[in-house]
Structure 1
Amino acid sequence: MSRVQGMEIACPEGWADRSMLVLTAPPGASGIAANLVVTRDVLAGGGQAPADIARRIEAHVEGEIKRWKGKPGYAELMRRHATPDLPTAEMRLVWTDGAEPLAQWLSFLPADPDTVVMAAATAPRGDMAALEPQFHAMLETLRLT
């Protein structure tokens, strides 16, 4: 059974629940709405020791970078950061949707030894600095159940 935002639906055997949380701001001057999307994904190499999760998250991030570099409109990877003492990682990139350059901040953290939570904050590049405190505040309220 999958539950999100007061809705519930049965997930048949063999299917995967890929529920997302999507929060959007009102459209800005460019007409584009900033958003925060939170998803879960299965980490490759399941069943390994929990202590190995940092390496597995890092491999997941490498896969995301390769996927992004193959997309039309991908501009640049601004920064990539792995937290040495925690099994978390982040990357920041810029890409173009039509004529508007978009900034995206992706954070990766473990939900359990086989699952990674990814939070993707996206905004027009010129608006990201002003919106980043709101993105941080929203992520501070995230609770995994």
Structure 2
Amino acid sequence: AHIIKEIILSFENIEGFKDMKIDIRIQQEKDFYGDEKMLYSVFQNMIENAFKYRDTNKNPSTLDISIVSDKQKTKIEFKDNGLGIDGELKDKVFDMFFKANEQSSGTGLGLYLVKLSIQKMGGHLYLQSTKGEGSVFTIVF
């Protein structure tokens, strides 16, 4: 959780970021361990994407982050009310160099590297999204 708070602080000077309502909920029965640099990169990408693809017509833009850890698994969820992802693009967003649109300022590597990092740590990444409503990215270790 300290990593997530650190990342949020690092974004605070970006114009519009403070307007985003971020809620962090942690329910841990046991500690979760993973490669700190990889986790930082994964969390940073997820938070940055929620901000970058927020729906500026929604006030407030929200990001709910939950970490639930029991004896069997750890589930980390990033849920936003942003632009959402078109159904036919859902499978492509994790492809290398994929950009949802040409105006995207990114390299098309973010979610590809997120998925790769999660797999290297033995986890799985799932996406639920509805265009115009938002997205839920779920990481399970």
State if a TM-score over 0.5 links the two structures. no
The two structures have a TM-score, normalised by structure 1, of 0.36
TM-score, structure 2 normalization = 0.37
Structure with larger RCO (C-alpha < 8 A, sep 6+)? 2
Which structure: greater strand fraction? Answer: 1
Larger radius of gyration between Structure 1 and Structure 2: 1
- From the two aligned structures, give the one with the greater helix fraction: 2
